[in-house]
C-alpha cells in the first residue's frame, strides 16, 4: 500500500506482490475495487461517489473491503476477464479450472515463502502465536533502542527499565516506565508502550 502526498483526499495505491488469480485483481497485482477509485461519480463505470474513495476511509476500511472482495468477487466489472469467466463457470457449473489455477498459485507462494524462510501460519492458533511473537520482539527491540539512546546521551547515568503489566483487553500490552539514575537522583524519563 502506497500513500501519496494527497492522502487522505486521494486513495492510496494497493497491489498484491504475489501472483493472484481473481476477477477483481489485475494480472500485475493492482486491485480493482471501488473504495480505491478516486472520489466522485464515474459515468463510465456507473460507480456513485458514495461507493468510491472519501477522506473518511482509512486502512481498516480498505482491508475490510478487500477481504470482502476476495470472498465475494464482482464478476460484473472484472479486472481480470479470464479469471472472472473461470470463477463464474466454477460457481455455476462446478468447473474446477478456477480452483486448480488458484491452488497452483498457492503452491507457488508456499514454495517462495519456504525459499525465503518465511513460516506461513495454517491455523488461527499459529497465526495469533506468530503475531504475538512479532509484537513482543518489536516491543523489546524498541525498548532496547530507547535505552541505548538514553545511555549514549550521558556516560555517567544508568538506565533502569521496569515493566508493569497493564490490565487491558490486549494480553500483549505492557506499559514500560524508564528511569534514569545519576548518582543518587532518579528521574522518570518516559512511559513507553
The one catalytic residue in 32, 69, 83, 147 is: 32
- Please name which of 64, 65, 67, 83 lies closest in space to residue 25, comparing C-alpha atoms: 83
Among residues 64, 61, 70, 68, the alpha carbon closest in space to that of 24 is found at: 70
Distance CA 45, CA 57 (A): 21
Are 138 and 166 spatial neighbours (Cβ–Cβ below 8 Å)? no
Q: Which residues does residue 159 pair with via DSSP β-bridges, in sequence order?
A: 180
Rg (CA), the chain: 24
Question: Which residue matches cell numbers 524519563?
Answer: 189
- CA-to-CA distance for 55 and 34, rounded, in angstroms? 14
CA pair distance 59, 62, nearest whole angstrom:
5
Q: For residue 32, indicate whether it is catalytic.
A: yes
**Residue 45 has which C-alpha cell?**
463505470
Asked if 35 and 47 touch (Cβ cutoff 8 Å), the reply is no
Which residues does the annotation mark as catalytic?
32
Amino acid at each position: 500500500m502506497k500513500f501519496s502526498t494527497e492522502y487522505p483526499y486521494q486513495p492510496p495505491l494497493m497491489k498484491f506482490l504475489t501472483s493472484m488469480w481473481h476477477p477483481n485483481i489485475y494480472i500485475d497485482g493492482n486491485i480493482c475495487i471501488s473504495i480505491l477509485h478516486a472520489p466522485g461519480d464515474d459515468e463510465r463505470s456507473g460507480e456513485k461517489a458514495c461507493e468510491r474513495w472519501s477522506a473518511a476511509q482509512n486502512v481498516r476500511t480498505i482491508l475490510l473491503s478487500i477481504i470482502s472482495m476476495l470472498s465475494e468477487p464482482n464478476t460484473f466489472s472484472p479486472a481480470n476477464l479470464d479469471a472472472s469467466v473461470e470463477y463464474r463457470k466454477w460457481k455455476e457449473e462446478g468447473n474446477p479450472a478456477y480452483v486448480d489455477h488458484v491452488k497452483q498459485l498457492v503452491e507457488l507462494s508456499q514454495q517462495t515463502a519456504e525459499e525465503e524462510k518465511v513460516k506461513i501460519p495454517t491455523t488461527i492458533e499459529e497465526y495469533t502465536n506468530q503475531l504475538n511473537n512479532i509484537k513482543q520482539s518489536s516491543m523489546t527491540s524498541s525498548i532496547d533502542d530507547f535505552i541505548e539512546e538514553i545511555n549514549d546521551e550521558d556516560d555517567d547515568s544508568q538506565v533502569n527499565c521496569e515493566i508493569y503489566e497493564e490490565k487491558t483487553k490486549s494480553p500483549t500490552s505492557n506499559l514500560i516506565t524508564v528511569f534514569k539514575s545519576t548518582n543518587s537522583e532518579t528521574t522518570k524519563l518516559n512511559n513507553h508502550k
